């Protein structure tokens, strides 16, 4: 089992930045591919970013590429999502997730992730 706890959400204005954190406990964090997903009201949960177990490879949704950066610290058991140039359409509950083993080609699929945090709300005003 892996427990995930997100933090860092809040209410910001368009163009501002936020950094989300997700602390993992339980099994060996470094063995998991970690992802960030988000869900806006009335929408399905969608992929945002994912990072390999070593942190050497990352992938992003087209809507956030160039603005968001995912990173991880395997010593601190923490994955981060740095969000810059935020837009109102980024408003959602953001979830981190852990996948014990995943084919990198399918790492964008939420069904690949076994463990989820409770989510943190990000609201971007105009």
Instruction: Give the model confidence (pLDDT) of 37-70 as tens digits.
Output: 999 999 999 999 999 998 899 999 999 999 999 9
| 3-class SS shares of the chain: helix, strand, coil, % to 5 | 10, 50, 40
Q: Does the pLDDT at position 119 exceed 90?
A: yes
Q: Please tell me the predicted confidence (pLDDT) of residue 28.
A: 78
Q: Does the pLDDT at position 22 exceed 80?
A: yes
Q: Is residue 93 within 8 Å of residue 38, measured between CB atoms?
A: yes
Q: Please tell me the predicted confidence (pLDDT) of residue 104.
A: 82
Q: Please tell me the predicted confidence (pLDDT) of residue 122.
A: 98
Strand 58-60 to 2-7 pairing: unpaired
Mean pLDDT of 90-99: 97
């Amino acid at each position: 089992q892996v427990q995930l706890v997100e933090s860092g959400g809040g209410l910001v204005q368009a163009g501002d930045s936020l950094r989300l954190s997700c602390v993992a406990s339980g099994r060996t964090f470094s063995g998991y591919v970690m992802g960030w997903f988000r869900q806006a009201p009335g929408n399905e949960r969608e992929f945002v970013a994912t990072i390999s177990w070593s942190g050497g490879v990352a992938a992003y949704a087209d809507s956030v590429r160039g603005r968001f950066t995912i990173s991880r610290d395997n010593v601190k058991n923490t994955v981060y999502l740095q969000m810059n140039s935020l837009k109102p359409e980024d408003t959602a509950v953001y979830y981190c997730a852990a996948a014990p083993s995943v084919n990198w080609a399918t790492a964008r699929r939420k069904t690949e992730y076994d463990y989820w945090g409770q989510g943190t709300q990000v609201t971007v005003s105009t």
